[in-house]
Structures are given as C-alpha cells and as structure tokens.
Structure 1
C-alpha cells in the first residue's frame, strides 16, 4: 500500500514497533554457501549488489538450493533489524488463509463472506455483495468499490484508516461490479481476510500466525499493527527480518511443506503459479494475481510485493528465493533478469576466488557509509544554532525546530502538534551526523537515522532515514537571516511542502 502523506510525512514522529538496534537479536538458522557451490556466478551477484545500491535498497538476499548465497544490508539498515514489509503482508495473510483451510478451520474458499460475518449488519447488501466469497478476497476480485491505485493516492484505504471500525467500513462499501469480474487492488479485502482468519482460529491473525506459521519456520522476531478492534492489519503493517521473509518464500518453493510437514493445502502454490487473473497493469510484461501474491509468468516467478519493493520472490525453476527491502521503486523485470543471469547451473560451478573477492568488495563498497570532512558552520550557522524557530500551522504538524550545528556532533529538537487536544506537544530529539555518516536515534525516535551538511553559507540540508519503515525525508533549510528560515520538505513518497519559521530572541 502507498502510505498517505498525512500518515507518513513526518514518520519520525510515530513510535515504531519495538525493533531496538542496540539489543541482541535472535539468531536464524539459514545455512550460508559460497555462490559457486550452488551454481551461482559471483560476478553476476556483484552486479546485483550495484543494482541494489542504485535502486535505494535497504537489503538484498538471494538463496538457492536452501542456502544463502548473497546477503547485503545497505547502511544505516543492518543485519538483525526488522523492516516494514508493507503490502507483502497480503501474501502472509493469504498464507494464513491457506493454512486455516488445510487445518479445517476455514470451511471452504467458495463460502460467501456474509455467512462468516453473520453477526454484523451490512449496508448496501445487494445480491452482488452476497456473492463475495473468501476466494474473491484472496484474489482482489471482490467487486467492492475501492480507490487504491498501485501508483497514486490510496484514497479509500485512507478513509478506512480514519474509520472507527475497519471491518464495518469495508463491509458497508457499495459494489462497483459483480464479484470475479475484474481485479481491483484493495487493502480492505485483506483486512476482511485477517478478520476471518482470526474468527475461525479464535485469536488474532498474528496469534494464529505465531502458532501455525512463524513457529514452524523459526520466525521469532516480528511486529504487526492492528486496527481499533485488535484485528491484525491485513493489507500492510507487518515487520519482519529479511531472513525470515526468505523463509516464507522457501515454504512456497517447497510447495507448502516445511521440514517434512505440510502447512499449505496441496494445489495452493500451483493455483498461484497458474493464475489467470490479470492485474491490468499494462506494459509488455503480464502480471497475474492470486492468494495475495503477484505472478510474473514470463519469468517463472511469483512474489509477495509491498510498496517501495518489499519483495519475497520465488523462482521455482531456479530453485531460488530472493528478498529485497528498500526505499524506492525499481524495475521488477531488471531484478528478474539479474537473478536469472546469476543462476548459471543446477550443479556446482568451479571455485571462483576472484569472483568471490569481487563480490565481497562490491558488498563492502555498496553497503558501507563513507565519512566526509565536516564543513565548518558559516557565520550564519553559528547565529542560528540553538535558536528555536516557530512555524505557523502546517501539513507536517511541526510547531518548532531547534538545531545545534556548532558542536562536534550536531543535534536537533522538533516539537509537533499534540496527538489530541489537551495533550502537550510531542518532542523529538536526536543527533545529526555532520561527517557523512548517519546517526541512528533511540527507540523513542523511531530508529531515525539523521545526517546533514551545509551546502552554502545560508543553506543546510537535513536528511532523515526511517530505518524500520524504509522511508526517507529531506529538509532544505534556507536562512534569510538569524531569525527567519524557509524549509523545503520532500519525502520518498514524492510529497512536498514549504514551511516558514521565525526565530526567537534578538
């Protein structure tokens, strides 16, 4: 899901799910192999690393024949951190529906959902709405009137977020067409699926996942948002480590069987691979959809996909799984081509010390931050340091800002509008890297990495990276004099605004 500006414009203001960067993380049990031992070309993987750096990835993982052959974390994201998987959550919710079906908790996929929500009074209950089945929700073909384009503002999803009861909001939506008629991307479908999984399992989708999916796969470190009724968000809101994302892909690669135990029904994975549901994306590469997963028939691949390319890619013919997390969009086709080019053989290749050295060097170069000389603050910089600037009401909710740009390590303080009337303003604070290296804030600031630099005598650029959320924002501050500032804001979602502030004191 594309997050709306009013939710993400200043993501650092929102406490993130606990994912502390300074605590020990649970180990994961993926074996690691030299690429050539699994028939993968190290030199081609080095090119994939460069592609990831140019594409604003936070992490890139490739596993083949059950072993990791490539793993990179682009700073300030690093190993052991969770990442927001955004709409890849839909693939997990689909997986849980499959497990519930296999366990007999979910009676059948062609069951009308109004029967499963029999305790609710549903508005606009015409014959088309009565015909919506569980499978329609899984395939995004419910016919519910919903505006959530894959590029553009997710208007109806925003309305759902603002509602007091998300399930009721979705159930009460009018119908745009008959169920099964066409694909329409709709996070509300997934929210209803999450609620249904919770109903038949007798607990939240998260609680059911921890027992039926995450425990068998050894996934212990996660976070998951919930709606006002405590239902795990179905369309987005799940946070996982990249290695654990890869485990879910490997479950699908093995036809829903994990460690000799079948978790998904027979035929579940085949129904995804053979899907004929057209996502209507246009272009020369067809995209299909089924059970919460995107399908690329031309490349023999399918994937759980989230905004800004949070991907779990499964390539059965290559016996491979790839995971990406990041902050920007890139070509799915280029990724698929790069993966296919790397998979040179089904059997081991000759040892390639030069290729492995090249790969190691590219990983180090692409994922390590580079320190730069600290530019001395200009005279104006010293005059504005530690001065509070007050702002008129604005879309970001910023009330005031203070920067200290004279110290060896810079710092910031931001006051934001209170969450509710009568509460005090929210205050955020943290360090600013002035040497080209991000400084990662504590949990209370949402694992926000910040750095900044003077680009002119009156211009300072402040960069925020939201390490767990995968977002970023930039603030170009132009000081007219020690008591006036114009702030040009832009974030990774393409939203822009301008704030003007007045400094306190003489």
Structure 2
C-alpha cells in the first residue's frame, strides 16, 4: 500500500481530512466511501459500552483506509499497550524472516540449538521435535508448564519437561513453545528477537521499536510481553493482509504468510467457536474465513481477506469470545461489496462519538460532614502499607501512600482520569506498569473510591476508603482479566 498524503486525501470524494497526529499512517475515510455502513460501527460502540467496561481501543481498516478509530480515555493513541499472547504472531513473523534468509528451516530439530543443555526423556520424542512443532503448538506436551520465579534457565526448564506424545501429533497451547522460538532465533542469529525484527518489520512499517520483556538470560519472552500501539497492531494486520508486502516492497514471502495463516493443525470441530477453527504458525483461524493473532484480555489483530479489512482491538476483558462475537454481529454485516451512498450526517455522528469515548466515571454521592483531610496509620498488612494521607478537599485532590520503600502520590481527577507516574508499585500492583491514570469520588457520604488504570496494560485497581469517626477501613479490588477480579485483604487504620 503506497503511502498517502493529506493533499491526495482531499481529492477523494467522501474522504475525511487527515486530522490525526503526525504519526498516523492510515488515511481517514468516511465508512460509506469504503463500502462500510456507519451504523454498524455505531452499533459496535453501543454494544461494547453496554456489555463491557474494559474495551480500551479499536481501529477498523477497510481497503487500506481507517474508517473508524477510537480510544476510551484514559487510554490514548500514542500509549503502547501490553499484547499478551498477540506477541506470538510477531515471534512467528521473525521465524518467517529467518527461514526466508536461510538461517533456519521448519524441520530443524529443537535440541540441535542447545547442545549445552540436558535433554529430558523419553529421548525418541525429543529427537523428533522440530521448529514446525513449536510454531503449531504440537510439542507433544499434554499440559502447559511454566517456570517459577526462581527459575533462571528457561530453555533448560523447557528441555527438561518430558513430552507426553510424539511431537507433531497433539495440539496443546503452550506459551513456552513460543519462548523457545525466541531462544532459538537468538542462538541462530546472535540477536534478540526484538532487535532482529527492528530492520525487517518495525522500521519498514513505521512501528517505534517496542519494549519486549526478557527472561533472566536476556532472551525476549516471545509468547508474551510485547508492548505496541493500537495502530501498530493495525499495521501488522495490514502487512499480513497484503501477503507480506509493504509500500510496494515484498518484505516477507507471500508463501510464508499463506502457510502461517492457514490451518496447519486441528484444534477442534465446533463451527460456532472461533477457538476451534484450526491453528497456523502462531495465528488462529476464525469463522468467516478470517484469521487473527490474539492475546489474553482481548488484544486482537483480526484479518478479514474476503472483506479486505483489518480490525485492531485492545481491552481488558476475560470474555474474549463474546467480544469477538460482537465484532461478527455488528461490524461484519456492515462491510458491503458494493459502493454505498454518502451519509454525511451519520459520518458526523460517528466522528463526534469517537471524540468523546471514555471509560465510566464514578457516580458521586457527596461528602460526609466532618470528613476532612488527614493521615491514617494502618495496621500490619500484606501490602506493606504504613499510612495513607488524604488531600481530597484540594482543587486537584490526591492521596499519598506510605510504604517501607517510600511514599507515592496518586493524583485523582474529579471529572476525568488524571495521569501520573509512581516511583513504587501501588498497593497490590507489584509487577505492573508504573504509569497510572486515576479518578476518584465520594460514592456515598462516608465512602471515597479511587479507580486506577495501569493504562499500558489491561489492569485496573480500585481502592475504597470507608470513614467512621477517626477509623478508616480500606478495601482493594484488583481487576486483571487474566486472573479475574480479586477482593484483597481489608486494612484498618486510625487517624493520627
């Protein structure tokens, strides 16, 4: 797809001027100009907001144009988002480049790259496991096994687990298989996965070099841990839709793209289940002859060849199936194969709706008389929280959490989500991102609530403070779609 510029867009009947930030790649277009019904997109937004409170962003690319894109505040265009297992499709792409360059072959034995490691038994199974089996989740393991926090050598951990079946004969989703692809690539090329992809994929597509978590040995995790923006997901999908071609240059073999996104192995036979349509090389087949990369909590790169469309979504939902179903029920029927009449009023309605997207705010219940700013010392607790200082009567309210590691100020917006960075993890958010966006309000005359999004991730934490005289009760609700919602310990305290 050749790069388009603003002046050329203005010549296209029905296309909107390019109003996005300079980093935006896809030119904007009214949906009907690309044979898509605006009402279908409005219906998608309605369903998302009615049925979920954790969808963060989406982009719809049709015929190479962005017909709709939106971010629910506090999530925003330029903020990278954790991809979870959508990372796997990027790892598969790196293997595709390595095969294309003759660095690897699909039939290379996994053990051949690790002569320094101890190989588990039975040996006849390990002597049959190939790169192809890692790509298709056919390692032969009956269960997915993870290293624990004390494991330093992840490759040795994987090679020490015994396959239960002959490799290539048993599909079992296994994130450590993707980690091994990253480890193999690093051994074969001398480069980390993210560095290897930089000149081959990220730079050509205009994707800023992303963060990608590593194991204790300095190997990118491969199967998870990548952070990119929503537009980067859309570019990646468009790259695959174009069979590995970008701006007229064939970067990745079209044959590889076809293999990677085709059904290589069966993973079920339910025609109504998008997780039972077959698996490729770290891509899932979908209903409607589509395919996707996906990650836990609803990170989606959906490629629809028959509709010449790509849909990118980030979210924090545990119900990934229902979110995908909403796509099929609203957006798919709106993609037509014939020209549509212009609908300027509908398009204006859609653009106005997209500008005002934000995640729900708290309903305020007023302030109890006598509850004033102050500091409350807390009893011993698992979070190591010593005290909470309240400054809620200020024009810009904030909380201060005091732990053994130091203090952190959490600014809480009144009618919006206030962004900030914390030096130490907030209570119960260890190992999560330090950049936060918080909103607070009195949900009853004696209860104040602070809702905090760790907005590079699907995670949200809510702190509820109940005041009774000089006593404080603090409750915490951690919402991580991977783990569901968890009510953590109740902490009590006394005003100083």
TM range (shorter): 0.7 to 0.9
Q: 2:368 aligns with which of 343, 364, 378?
A: 378
Distance 2:295 2:269 in 1: 16
Distance 2:60 2:244 in 1: 19
Counterpart for residue 236 of structure 1: 224
SS of equivalent to 1:490:
strand
Counterpart for residue 115 of structure 1: 112
Distance 1:491 1:290 in 2: 32
Distance 1:350 1:284 in 2: 33
Counterpart for residue 87 of structure 2: 89
- When the two structures are aligned, how many residues end up with a matched partner? 459
Distance 2:368 2:391 in 1: 13
How far is 1:291 from its partner?
A: 0.9
Distance 1:117 1:210 in 2: 25
Is 1:307 the counterpart of 2:296? The answer is yes
Listed as ranges, the matches of 1:148-167 within 5 Å are: 156-157=145-146, 159-167=147-155
Distance 1:265 1:430 in 2: 49
Distance 1:175 1:26 in 2: 50
Listed as ranges, the matches of 1:134-153 within 5 Å are: 134-144=131-141, 146-147=143-144
- Residue deviations 1:412-443, cap 9 Å, x none? 22245xxxxxxx5153322012x231111137
Q: 1:401 aligns with which of 378, 388, 393?
A: 388
Kindly tell me: are residues 164 and 273 of structure 1, through their superposed partners in 2, closer, same or farther at Cα, counting changes over 3 Å? closer
Equivalent residues of 1:50, 1:362 under 8 A apart: no
Taking structure 2 as the reference length, what is the TM-score of the superposition? 0.86
Equivalent residues of 1:114, 1:130 under 8 A apart: yes
SS of equivalent to 1:119:
coil
Is 1:131 the counterpart of 2:119? The answer is no
Q: 1:337 aligns with which of 319, 329, 332?
A: 329
Gapped regions of structure 1 (runs ≥ 5): 1-23, 148-155, 417-423
Q: 2:169 aligns with which of 178, 181, 194?
A: 181
Equivalent residues of 1:160, 1:170 under 8 A apart: no
Counterpart for residue 47 of structure 2: 51
SS of equivalent to 1:52:
helix
- Residue deviations 1:432-488, cap 9 Å, x none? 12x231111137472211112222233222211111112112223333442341414
Q: 2:420 aligns with which of 415, 437, 441?
A: 441
Distance 1:177 1:239 in 2: 34
Distance 1:146 1:25 in 2: 45
How far is 1:100 from its partner?
A: 0.9
Is 1:459 the counterpart of 2:442? The answer is no
SS of equivalent to 1:289:
coil
Distance 2:149 2:172 in 1: 19
Kindly tell me: are residues 374 and 390 of structure 1, through their superposed partners in 2, closer, same or farther at Cα, counting changes over 3 Å? same
SS of equivalent to 2:371:
helix
Q: 1:318 aligns with which of 307, 317, 321?
A: 307
Taking structure 1 as the reference length, what is the TM-score of the superposition? 0.84
Q: Which has the higher contact order (CA 8 A, sep 6+)?
A: 1
How far is 1:91 from its partner?
A: 0.6
Equivalent residues of 1:43, 1:358 under 8 A apart: no
Q: 1:364 aligns with which of 355, 361, 366?
A: 355
SS of equivalent to 2:450:
strand
Is 1:428 the counterpart of 2:408? The answer is yes
Distance 1:357 1:458 in 2: 43
Distance 1:160 1:133 in 2: 25
